[in-house]
Copies of this chain bind each other. A is one copy, B any other.
Amino acid sequence: MTRRQEIMGTALGLMRKKGYLNTSMRDIASSVNMEAASLYNHIKSKEEILIDTCFGLAETLEIGIKEVNDIYFNAAEKLAMAIHNHIQALTQDLNASHLFVHEWRHLSDDKRAQFIQRRDLYEKEFRDIVILGFEEGEFKDVDPKFATLTILASLNWVGEWYRPQGEMQPKEIAEKLTHFILSGLQKN
């Protein structure tokens, strides 16, 4: 593991625990036993940590949803795989996920605009699956935007309660979520 990776990893951990703004370069430095100024031999700025993390995870998610659209044909299958990929990506690195879900707001103006654009695009890919399901006659006539936001809310929230050492593993979480979203809570 390079020194840069070590710094990034440590920084992400602190930022998840205390928040991005509340984590100072001196905090990060002392966690890897060096001086704040020395960090700049490895990273360009504090914001670079946020940028690399947010856009890195964005790319992972984009690749995931593109794969789904290439391979599967019916909406229920697509949705199941999209959920699976999303949960895998998020639970892979909870520290990074926290920055992705919560701290992107603190990106500088132009980076934030870029980020929102990519997030909206990802959201649209999800929405298209819901719409496809309706066109297939398999899904109810729900408001696609509303449904998509509700689904993504459930997915993103997993990062708040998932514990790697807990009893529920990402695969199982994805399956339960898929089932919950597709068929709801009530017996019929």
Chain A residues close to B by CB (< 8 Å): 19, 21-22, 76, 102, 105-106, 130, 133, 137-140, 142-143, 146-147, 149-150, 152-154, 156-157, 160-161, 168, 173, 176-177, 180-188
User: CB distance A181 to B176 under 8 Å?
Assistant: no
Residues on B with C-beta less than 8 A from A154 are: 150, 153-154
Residues on B with C-beta less than 8 A from A153 are: 153-154, 156-157, 160
Q: A150-B154, A157-B153, A180-B150 are in contact. Are A187 and B139 (CB under 8 A)?
A: yes
Complex Cα distance A106/B20, Å? Answer: 11
Residues on B with C-beta less than 8 A from A19 are: 21, 105-106
Complex Cα distance A185/B126, Å? Answer: 14
Interface of A is mostly: helix
Instruction: List 19 contacting pairs A-B, 8 Å CB cutoff, sorted by A.
Output: A22-B106, A76-B186, A102-B102, A138-B186, A140-B185, A140-B186, A142-B180, A146-B180, A149-B160, A149-B161, A150-B154, A150-B157, A153-B157, A153-B160, A156-B157, A182-B185, A182-B186, A183-B188, A184-B184
Complex Cα distance A130/B76, Å? Answer: 26
